[in-house]
Amino acid sequence: MPILVMKFGGTSVATLDRIRRVAKRVGVEVAKGYDVIVIVSAMSGETNKLVGYVNETSELFDAREYDAIVSSGENVTAGLMALTLQEMDVPARSWQGWQVPVKTTNAHASARIEEIPPANILQKFEEGMKVAVVAGFQGISSEGRITTLGRGGSDTTAVAFAAAFEAERCDIYTDVDGVYTTDPRICEKARKLDKIAFEEMLELASLGAKVLQTRSVELAMRYKVKLRVLSSFEEQSDEAGTLVCDEEDIMESNVVAGVAYSRDEAKMTLVSVADRPGIAAAIFGPLAEAGINVDMIIQNISEDGRTDMTFSCPTDQVARAEKAIEGIKASGELNFSGVDIDQSVAKISIVGIGMRSHAGVASKMFKVLSNEGINIKVITTSEIKVSVLIERKYMELAVQSLHDAFELEKA
Q: Which residues here bind its own copies, judged by CB under 8 A?
A: 16, 19, 50, 53-54, 56-58, 61-62, 64-66, 68-69, 71-73, 75-76, 78-80, 82-84, 86-87, 93-94, 96, 98-99, 144-146
- Respond yes or no on whether the N-terminal peptide bond of residue 101 is cis (omega within 30° of 0): yes
DSSP 8-state secondary structure symbol assigned to residue 245? E
Q: Determine the 3-state secondary structure of 310 from DSSP.
A: strand
307 appears as a binding residue in the annotation: no
Q: How far is the CB of 50 from its own copies (least distance, A)?
A: 7
261 appears as a binding residue in the annotation: no
Going across the sheet that includes 92-95, the strands are 92-95, 131-135, 35-40, 3-8, 169-174, 227-231, 242-245, 195-197
Q: Cβ–Cβ contacts within 10 Å for residue 332, how many?
A: 7
174 appears as a binding residue in the annotation: yes
Rounded-to-10 torsion of CA 82, 85, 86, 91: -90
DSSP-derived pairing of the beta strands 92-95 and 385-391: unpaired
8 appears as a binding residue in the annotation: yes
Q: How far is the CB of 38 from its own copies (least distance, A)?
A: 13
211 appears as a binding residue in the annotation: yes
Cβ–Cβ < 8 Å for 234, 240: yes
Gap between the Cα atoms of 297 and 327, Å rounded: 20
Q: Which is nearer to its own copies, 88 or 341 (CB)?
A: 88
Q: How far is the CB of 14 from its own copies (least distance, A)?
A: 12
Gap between the Cα atoms of 105 and 97, Å rounded: 13
Instruction: Give the H/E segment covering residue 288.
Output: helix 279-289
Q: Which is nearer to its own copies, 50 or 290 (CB)?
A: 50
185 appears as a binding residue in the annotation: yes
Q: Cβ–Cβ contacts within 10 Å for residue 306, how many?
A: 15
Q: How far is the CB of 102 from its own copies (least distance, A)?
A: 14
180 appears as a binding residue in the annotation: yes
Q: Determine the 3-state secondary structure of 62 from DSSP.
A: coil
Q: How far is the CB of 300 from its own copies (least distance, A)?
A: 46
Q: Which is nearer to its own copies, 52 or 184 (CB)?
A: 52
Q: How far is the CB of 124 from its own copies (least distance, A)?
A: 11
Gap between the Cα atoms of 270 and 324, Å rounded: 12
Q: Which is nearer to its own copies, 42 or 268 (CB)?
A: 42
74 appears as a binding residue in the annotation: yes
N- to C-terminal Cα distance for the chain?
36
210 appears as a binding residue in the annotation: yes
Q: Which of 255, 161, 138, 158 is nearest to 212 (CA)?
A: 158
Q: Determine the 3-state secondary structure of 311 from DSSP.
A: strand
Q: How far is the CB of 93 from its own copies (least distance, A)?
A: 7
Q: Which of 172, 202, 243 is nearest to 353 (CA)?
A: 202
Cβ partners under 8 Å of residue 184, min gap 6: 190
Q: Side chain identity at 296, as an amino acid letter?
A: M
Q: How far is the CB of 291 from its own copies (least distance, A)?
A: 20
Instruction: Give the H/E segment covering residue 201.
Output: helix 198-206
Q: How far is the CB of 146 from its own copies (least distance, A)?
A: 8
Going across the sheet that includes 338-351, the strands are 297-299, 306-314, 258-274, 338-351, 385-391, 376-382
Q: Which is nearer to its own copies, 62 or 234 (CB)?
A: 62
Q: Which is nearer to its own copies, 61 or 223 (CB)?
A: 61
Q: Which of 145, 146, 239, 255 is nearest to 197 (CA)?
A: 255
Q: Which is nearer to its own copies, 89 or 383 (CB)?
A: 89
Q: Which is nearer to its own copies, 78 or 296 (CB)?
A: 78
Q: Which is nearer to its own copies, 85 or 395 (CB)?
A: 85
Q: Please state the residue numbers annotated as binding site for ATP.
A: 7-10, 174-175, 180, 185, 210-211
| Residue ranges of the binding site | 7-10, 47, 74, 174-175, 180, 185, 210-211
Query: Which residues define the annotated binding site for substrate?
Result: 47, 74
